[in-house]
Chains A and B, each alone.
Chain A
Amino acid sequence: SQQGEEDPQALSIQEGENATMNCSYKTSINNLQWYRQNSGRGLVHLILIRSNEREKHSGRLRVTLDTSKKSSSLLITASRAADTASYFCATDELTFGKGITLSVRP
């Protein structure tokens, strides 16, 4: 079974709004990563959070990790049209879910 499962499957927001995406997993992990995929391209690593961390920031990105709930969230603040992409989470087993399609309307 897939280790990382994202929700929602699709998200459409207005430019300037915040986007929150969630990921759940099943077994204990050492770390969790979030990736972005633009149409027709490969995945690009965004951020990695370790199991002993609860929150991490990188620019407009904020990732949280709740190991008791086996879940993580990715928050993109002040979204831009260029953030339109698919977003994937992966655990240290390196299995990916189906991803979340984010559309940011100008």
Chain B
Amino acid sequence: GAGVSQSPSNKVTEKGKDVELRCDPISGHTALYWYRQSLGQGLEFLIYFQGNSAPDKSGLPSDRFSAERTGGSVSTLTIQRTQQEDSAVYLCASSLGLPPLHFGNGTRLTVT
């Protein structure tokens, strides 16, 4: 497909478990972003990858959160020891390094 793909679309997990969220950006896009959107809230920046540069991790809320981008393409956001406050929609976006951003439809994470 031509767009940003995220999987799974929905994830329900028990408190304390680890989860992995996947993002397939648009082919050729050098920049990849992760955001978190809680109910009724705006988008909270989490992490930004640009080419081979060190990622900007300044938005990660705790050391339970980490992300990788392998081969400059697919990215995985990992949340360890999930908490109920981690419940949110996690959005991935990619770009050619400049706006605009192209978003996926997100992964809705529910921690029970």
Contact = CB atoms under 8 A, between A and B. Distances in A.
A4 to B, nearest CB: 9
Interface stretch (B11-19, B35-43, B60-68, B69-77): B35-43
B105 A42 contact: yes
Interface residues of A, number: 20
A43 B103 contact: yes
B99 A31 contact: yes
How many B residues touch the partner, as a band?
Answer: 10 to 19
Contacts of B102: 45
Contact of A42 (B42, B45, B48, B91): B91
Given A42-B103, A42-B106, A94 B91 contact: no
Contact of A44 (B99, B103, B106): B103
B33 interface: yes
Nearest to A98: B42
Interface of B: 4, 33, 35, 40-43, 45, 48, 91, 93, 99-106
8 closest A-B pairs by CB: A42-B103, A45-B100, A98-B42, A96-B43, A43-B103, A42-B105, A97-B42, A96-B42
